[in-house]
């Protein structure tokens, strides 16, 4: 009996070893870009090598890693497409540069992937533009990506939006850096649309447009520990361009904004299209020399041809909790809501925003707003119960 138990024990150990070391779905295989003929230096296009390496990594049955070695590479526009046969990591230890004068929808785009990790490196769009122009590409785009993350990535000099997520679910964006000059037009930091379950964490954004823009279809979004400036602040909208646009269940917390042209902004257009912005919480936000620290604009008009009047987009159940700092203008809180669809359920708690020149008191400007206020209130609130 004793020897039989020993024999069974050794058979068990051998079985475990066989499971652990037999090639298969649990292996992670590295696909190094240099093995595909990628030329370093940033003067020769390596897009075909990148696509070939991606194809092999994506088709590997099990975990895979596409490794970009530490060097500079020139890359023409590429679409890195799934679905893949297992989780995949794009590990960038180098700098990828886009061609100058690039036109098109996007530069580097990931599509239809479940379990992507985008890790490290620099993505240089070789912009930014000196003036707004049609056809300028997004630097990095996630399209229908799920259960994935982007971390420790540096995005610089985009010609348009730096990072655009569309149709994505359960994405973590952690400790990335975005940088373009404040006078570069339309260079949003992170733009999210038709996506849910997105977390933006511990990220620094300098841009010529919105640091974070949540457009239609954004749901269950967390923006936490973001530093924004320069830029146009953290924005929801604009909504009202098509029927039943929605942004809901958003938490913006522990964020710092400085020298931005807006702070926390919700913008909708005056149109016949209905929509909803609801269940939004802004908490523990600090400003330094920010224009328009808190602003609702339901007559948003980026051009001179917009219709003026009442917006049919309903803004409701919005909380501002412990929001403080300095405003570059005397009017620190602007809540201009629709006459036909007044804002409701607006809560102001512990608001302390001073005029930056003299640390003096500021004022509020409200219309068609219903809600409540409590705690410290600087400026004096103008919402009605």
> Taking 60 as the threshold, does the pLDDT of residue 239 lie above it?
yes
Structure tokens at 228: 């924004």
Q: pLDDT at position 95, please?
A: 98
Check pLDDT > 90 for residue 309.
no
**Digit-coded pLDDT (tens) for 77-86:** 999 999 999 9
CA 188, CA 209: separation in Å to the nearest integer?
A: 5
Q: What's the average model confidence in pLDDT over 42-54?
A: 98
* Overall average pLDDT of the 42-56 stretch: 98
State how far the Cα of 251 lies from the Cα of 237, in Å rounded to an integer. Answer: 15
Mean pLDDT of 90-97: 98
The pLDDT value recorded for residue 359 is 65
Q: Does residue 5 surpass a pLDDT of 90? A: no
pLDDT at 205 over 60: yes
What is the per-residue pLDDT for 115? 98
**What gap in Å lies between CA 357 and CA 352, rounded to an integer?**
15
Share of the chain above pLDDT 70, in %: 93
Buried b (16+ CB within 10 A) or exposed e, 346-366: bebbbbbbbbbeeeeebbbeb
pLDDT of residue 301: 85
Clarify whether 370 is annotated catalytic.
no
Among the listed residues 210, 232, 291, 317, the single catalytic one is: 232
Q: What is the mean pLDDT of the chain?
A: 91
| Mean pLDDT value across residues 216-237 | 98
Active-site hit among 124, 209, 210, 291: 209
Q: Indicate whether 18 pLDDT > 80.
A: no
Closest C-alpha to 294, from 335, 330, 329, 259: 335
Per the model's pLDDT, the better-predicted residue between 166 and 9 turns out to be: 166
Domains and CATH numbers, the chain: 25-209 (2.160.20.10), 240-385 (no CATH)
Least confident of 123-132, 282-291, 350-359: 123-132
Residue 347 pLDDT > 70: yes
- pLDDT (tens digit, 9 = 90+) per residue, 354-367? 998 876 789 999 99
- Residue-level pLDDT at 100: 86
Question: For residue 169, is pLDDT > 90?
Answer: yes
Which H helix or E strand runs over 5? helix 2-21
| Residue for token pair 């009047």 | 309
DSSP-assigned letter for residue 231: B
Q: Select the more confidently predicted residue: 128 or 230.
A: 230
Please say if the pLDDT value at position 384 is more than 90.
no
For residues 293-305, give the mean pLDDT: 89
Q: Residues 201-212: what's their mean pLDDT?
A: 97
- Among 21-30, 73-82, 144-153, 163-172, the range scoring the smallest mean pLDDT is 21-30
**pTM of the prediction?**
0.92
Q: Is 9 exposed, middle or buried (0-12, 13-18, 19+ CB in 10 A)?
A: exposed
pLDDT (0 to 100) of residue 3: 41
**275 vs 20, higher pLDDT:** 275
pLDDT of residue 103: 86
Q: Once rounded to an integer, what is the mean pLDDT over residues 173-191? A: 96
Give the separation between CA 238 and CA 273, rounded to whole angstroms. 12
HSE-CB of 90 using CA atoms within 13 angstroms: 27
pLDDT at 69 over 70: yes
Question: 35 catalytic, yes or no?
Answer: no
């Amino acid at each position: 009996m004793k020897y039989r138990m020993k024999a069974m024990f050794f058979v068990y150990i051998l079985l475990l070893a066989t499971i652990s070391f037999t090639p298969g779905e649990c292996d992670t295989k590295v696909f190094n870009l240099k093995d595909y003929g990628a030329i370093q230096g940033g003067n020769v296009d390596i897009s075909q090598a990148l696509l070939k390496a991606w194809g092999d990594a994506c088709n590997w049955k099990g975990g895979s890693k596409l490794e970009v070695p530490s060097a500079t590479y020139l890359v023409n526009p590429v679409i890195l497409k799934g679905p893949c046969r297992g989780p995949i990591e794009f590990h960038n230890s180098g700098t990828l540069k886009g061609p100058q004068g690039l036109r098109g929808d996007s530069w580097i785009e990931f599509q239809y992937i479940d379990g992507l990790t985008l890790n490290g490196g620099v993505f240089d769009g070789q912009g930014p533009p000196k003036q707004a122009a049609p056809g300028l590409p997004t630097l990095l785009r996630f399209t229908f990506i799920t259960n994935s993350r982007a971390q420790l990535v540096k995005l610089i000099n985009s010609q348009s939006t730096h990072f655009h997520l569309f149709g994505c679910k359960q994405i973590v964006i952690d400790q990335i850096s975005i940088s373009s000059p404040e006078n570069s037009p339309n260079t949003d930091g992170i733009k999210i649309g038709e996506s849910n379950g997105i977390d933006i964490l511990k990220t620094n954004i300098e841009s010529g447009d919105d640091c974070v823009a949540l457009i239609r279809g954004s749901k269950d979004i967390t923006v936490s520990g973001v530093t924004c400036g320069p830029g146009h602040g953290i924005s929801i909208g604009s909504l009202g361009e098509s029927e039943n646009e929605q942004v809901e269940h958003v938490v913006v917390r522990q964020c710092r904004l400085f020298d931005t042209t807006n702070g926390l902004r919700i913008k909708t257009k005056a149109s016949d299209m209905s929509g909803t912005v609801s269940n939004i919480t802004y908490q523990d936000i600090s400003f330094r020399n920010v224009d328009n620290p808190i602003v609702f604009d339901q007559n948003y008009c980026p051009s001179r041809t917009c219709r003026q009047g009442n917006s049919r987009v309903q803004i409701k159940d919005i909380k501002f909790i412990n929001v403080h700092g300095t405003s570059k203008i005397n009017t620190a809180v602007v809540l201009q809501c629709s006459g036909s669809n007044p804002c409701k359920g607006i809560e102001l708690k512990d608001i302390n925003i001073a005029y930056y020149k003299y640390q003096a008191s500021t004022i509020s400007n409200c219309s068609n707003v219903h809600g409540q206020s409590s705690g410290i209130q600087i400026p004096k609130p103008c919402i009605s119960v």
